[in-house]
Structures are given as structure tokens and as C-alpha cells.
Amino acid sequence: MLLGGSDCVCSMKHFTVNFFPDDKQVVIHKGATVLEAAGQVGIVLNTTCGGRGTCGKCAVFLQPLGQKILACQYEIQSDLTVTIPDSSRFFKQKILSEGLRRDIKLNPAVCKKTITVESFDPAQIEAFLNNREDKKFILANSAIRKLRKLSCDQSCQFVTAVCHINIKDNGYKVVDFERGDTVEEIWGIAADIGTTTVVAKLVDMTNNKSLASEAALNPQIKYGDDVISRINYANTDEKLSQLQQVIITCLNRLTAKLCRRIGIDKNNIYEMTIACNTTMNHIFLGWPVKQLGQAPYKPYSSEAVNTTAINMGVDINPLGNIYTIENIAGFIGSDTIAVAVAVDIDNVKETTLVVDIGTNGEIILAVKDKFYCASCAAGPALEGARILQGSRAVKGAIEAVIMNETDIDIDVIGNSPAISICGSGLIDAVAVMLDLGIIDSTGRFVSPQELKGKVPEKIIKRVSTVDSQPAFKLSKDGQDVFLTQKDIRETQLAKAAIRAGIKLLQKKLELADSDIDCLLLAGAFGNYIRKESALRIGLLPDIACEKIHFIGNAASSGAEMILLNRHFRSKATELAKKIEYVEIAHEADFSMVYADCMLF
């Protein structure tokens, strides 16, 4: 039951900004900088001066006149079209719908070879491929059976061999033949299976182009919203199989959506690369998970796996390859490896902290030529779960909250009426509420009586009650969207877990906040986190803003890189061996540090 509240409406204008050559568009409030607008669509610009306008490295061009401006200084007062040169990007990269991807030379583990038919004899075709390609080709039984079937078609002049790399001798195993020349019809999917969110990205494996992405709530959430709950649920073979089928069905639905959007046949998808935490990895593969919930939390296996789509029930080409990336430890999975690949962690020259915020948050710390990682059970609050009106970063979700002169203003995904709030909006909202004094350093709501004379009247009118607990109204039109006292507590639990994990890893390596040269913030909870907001709520170490860079869903981007080039597949294997896991929960002062990090 809702009591109180306000119908106050913010009149702040919003404008549309188009970015090229990225072909991205964002609607953002008047007065925001071009730098902020770029960040909201996942474009990371070079701001070594921290946005003070002194380094000149975020220069972009306003069209159609080509006026050169500094993105960090230019305030948006109208609709804009902006061109971004490579020299102004933090990463010289192609920008995807989620996260980042460095320029990739195509070298996938699956390819096609077209052959002019002179004979359907398997031995002759095998010899022809070996001679023409100067590689060793071996025909699988499935390919031989298909040749026999095609030999009945007298009009068949060309066949296309579907080939999977044979790692042992760097040759190829031919698994299928297709009628005609289908060499241009080869697609792959990079999937990131999170505890809360599942993302699937369709990629054209002939030209390195990301075509579309789809995301969904992980349907396993009905069996528990964190990995421990699912480990406890999967205590029998039957229940483990149930969880496995649920996630495979989810992947199949996302695949079907992608195929419909782009207009392709699912049978032309020949590989799926999967990144996920260790529990999601084991459930997907049908491996036992009981040991993951008991000390010493050892995985059943940490190895990468190649298996067929038909074997897994994944609805792509039945002979397509399913590749799951290596895990590191019981609570550090292949999603962390994918992030490490995406940011090129083993080539960083300075002390770099990577924080991947999710239900099971992961931290990577690169110090000189050493790499360390840790896991922190943040819970799903920053991905929208456990928040009364929380959601993923979807249309209608509040993704940013700012103060104007007398009230707050919000940015809503899709420029539509607000119906929910996603992780980036949640972090902003809590920071604004702290700055206004709506909540104190313990997270407790301050009464409206105490606020009188200290904040604008419009702000006081937003303080209300929802289900007998204090609440703050964020929305200005459409559905009422509130943050409640319980929402604040959930945010505190999540941010405390992440910050405590970082602090304990720093302590183990004797690193102060000032020793961190670069912080890369990853996550699929929204397109952009305002650095100041993350620092204000105590989510991150106390470092200068210019050291912090948001890199989006880097796990998804890393999975795509591993899909497209075997070099990154090998790199992932190397990193899994190089990165040292630190079990921070066993640290003697874990409870004390965690409790301290609960405060704002």
C-alpha cells in the first residue's frame, strides 16, 4: 500500500545524440556532457585528465561542420551528431552493444571450404582438400554419410565442407558437407551465462561483424537467486538435470530470437562459445556441483570443453561445436577469464584493478607481471533483483539520476516513462540520496521533519511510505518508481561485498588505494555508471576519477573474441594458469572489513 508521495513533474529537456562510426544513439538530459552521453552507449573515451579539459585526448567532431570539441567539456543543449576518431578512444576498438572488443583478425575454430564436384569419393575429396589447403583434413563419419546422400543429386556441382579445427595437429576435421557454395553462411554465438542475466550475441564469422544481441533473466532464478541456493537445490541428479535443461532452453530461446531478428537459419550457426561462473558452467555441462558449496570449494573440472550441439541439446547446427572456456577455481569461472582476455590483462604496464560487478562479483588485480583474482558474493541487487522495482537494463528502466536546481532528474532507457530501475540508476539514486541527506551514512532514512529547511520542498515531497517502510520517489511520470529502506539495505550488502573483496585483496598484496593506476569497471547492469556515484557510495577504492573506466559487459566481449580467433582461445588457457586465486572469505578480518564497508 502506498501512502503520501508526489505528482511533481520535472521539466528538464532531453536531447538525442548520435555517435558515428559506431551507429549508436542516446537520449540524455540537457546539460550533460558529450563524454557522459558516449559512456551511456558503452563508448569509452580517453580522459587521462579526469574530465578537466586539460589533456585534450577526448576530442570529437560535431557534424555536419566538423567542429572539434572536447567531449568532457561540451554540454549538450540540442540534438547532436558526433564523430569519434580512434585517437580519442580509451581502447582502439570496435564498440559492441555490450562491452568492448579489440580489433580481431579472423581465425575461428570452424570454417567452410567450397569444392567443385568431380567425384563424391571421400578419399579423393580428402586428398583434394589436403593438397589445396596445405593442411591436414580428415573426414568424420558424419561427413562421409552426407557425401553419400549428396551423390544421389546429379545436379550438384559444388559442395561446401564444414570444418572444425583439430588442435592436435593444427589441421581440420570435416564434420559435414552442404550442397552448393555456402561458404558465406557461417555464424556463431558468444554467450555469457550469469547467475541473474544471460546474454547471447550473434556474430558473422566471415567478416567479424556483431549482428545482434539478446538478453534474458536467467530462468534458474526461481530455484534461488544466488549460486549457493542453486548448489543446494541441485542436490540430486534429477534436480541438476532440471537446472541444466532450464538454462539450455533459455539459450535456445535467445538463439531463436536472434535468428528471427537477422533472418538466418539456425542450422548455419556452427559454434557457440560460453563464458560463465563455475557453478553455471557445471550446471550447463551437467557436472556435479555439491562440492562447490563445501570447503575447499573445488570444481569438478577447470578444463575447457568441446562438445557437439546435438549432445547438449543446443538448438544450432546439430554438428556445431559448443565451447566452454576454462574455469580458475570454485567461485572464479570462465567469465573472469573472458574479462581478462577482453582487457588484454597480461599486457598492462601499470597496476590495474578490474572489477566485474554481478551477482557473483569478480576482481582481477594485475601487479607488474603477476595476476591475482578473488570472488565476492555481492548478490543480485546491482542487476535489479531483490530491489522492489529493480530490473535489468531494459526499456523503461531508470539508468541515471541527477540533481537539478530544485529537484532530481532521471534518464530512462528508451526515453519512455519509467517503470523500473537498473543497476546504474540504483547507484546514482543512492549517491544522490546521500548527497541530499535523505539517507545517512548508515543507510537509514532521515524523516521529512528533519529535512525541512535543508533540501528543496520538491525533494521532501518525494519522501513517502511503501509497505510501511520509508521510501523515495524517483519517477516523474508513468508508473511510480520508489526506492525503499529495504532497497537501500540490499544495495549496502552488495557494495560492501565488492568493496570488502577489493580491500582484502589489496591488503594481502600490501597495496594502498593510491597504488592503483587504473580501474576497469565491468558489468551487464547498465550502459554506464557515473564514476562519482560509485565513489560516493563507497563501491570502489578512493582513487581519482580519471583512473576509472567503464568497459561494459567485458565477459560477453571476451567470449566473442574467443569465438572469432583461436589465438584468444589459447590466451584464455594461458591466463587460467597464470591468474592466482585468493580466497578472501578465509581472511581473519573478513567480517570486520565487511561490516565497515556497509557504511556509506
Report the distance separating Cα 188 and Cα 108, nearest Å.
Answer: 10
> What pLDDT, on the 0 to 100 scale, is given for residue 97?
37
User: Which of 244, 321, 320 minimizes the C-alpha distance to 276?
Assistant: 244
Average pLDDT for residues 429-455, to the nearest whole number?
96
Using the structure block, give the residue that is written with the C-alpha cell 532464478.
221
C-alpha cell at 91: 581502447
How far are the Cα atoms of 146, 156, 274, 451, 587 from residue 519, in angstroms, in the given order? 52, 57, 25, 36, 23
DSSP, res 565 = B
Q: Is 521 left (phi over 0), alpha (psi -120 to 50) or beta?
A: beta
Residue 378 — pLDDT band, cuts 50, 70, 90? Answer: confident
Q: Is the model more confident about 470 or about 411?
A: 470
The CA dihedral of 425, 279, 522, 216, to the nearest 10 degrees, is -50
Report the distance separating Cα 289 and Cα 282, nearest Å.
Answer: 6
> What pLDDT, on the 0 to 100 scale, is given for residue 36?
86
Average pLDDT for residues 301-306, to the nearest whole number?
96
C-alpha cell at 133: 589447403
- Top-tier CATH class for 348-380+491-519+544-597: alpha beta
Taking the CB of residue 218, how many other CB atoms lie within 10 A of it? 24
For domain 110-179, the question of CATH label 1.10.150 is answered with no
> What pLDDT, on the 0 to 100 scale, is given for residue 377?
86
Average pLDDT for residues 287-312, to the nearest whole number?
95
Average pLDDT for residues 255-273, to the nearest whole number?
97
pLDDT tens for each residue of 50-62 = 677 888 889 999 9
Fold exhibited by the domain 187-324: Nucleotidyltransferase; domain 5 (3.30.420)
Output the average pLDDT for the chain: 90
Say yes or no to pLDDT of 386 above 60.
yes
Report the distance separating Cα 282 and Cα 555, nearest Å.
Answer: 17
Taking the CB of residue 11, how many other CB atoms lie within 10 A of it? 8
pLDDT tens for each residue of 475-494 = 977 689 999 999 999 999 99
> What pLDDT, on the 0 to 100 scale, is given for residue 45?
84
Check for a shared fold between 110-179 and 348-380+491-519+544-597.
no
Domain ranges of the chain: 14-90, 110-179, 187-324, 348-380+491-519+544-597, 390-480
pLDDT tens for each residue of 25-48 = 888 888 889 998 887 777 878 876
Q: What is the CATH number of domain 14-90?
A: 3.10.20.30
User: pTM of the full predicted structure?
Assistant: 0.82
What crossing angle do the helices spanning 334-342 and 554-564 adopt, rounded to 10°? 80
C-alpha cell at 598: 556497509
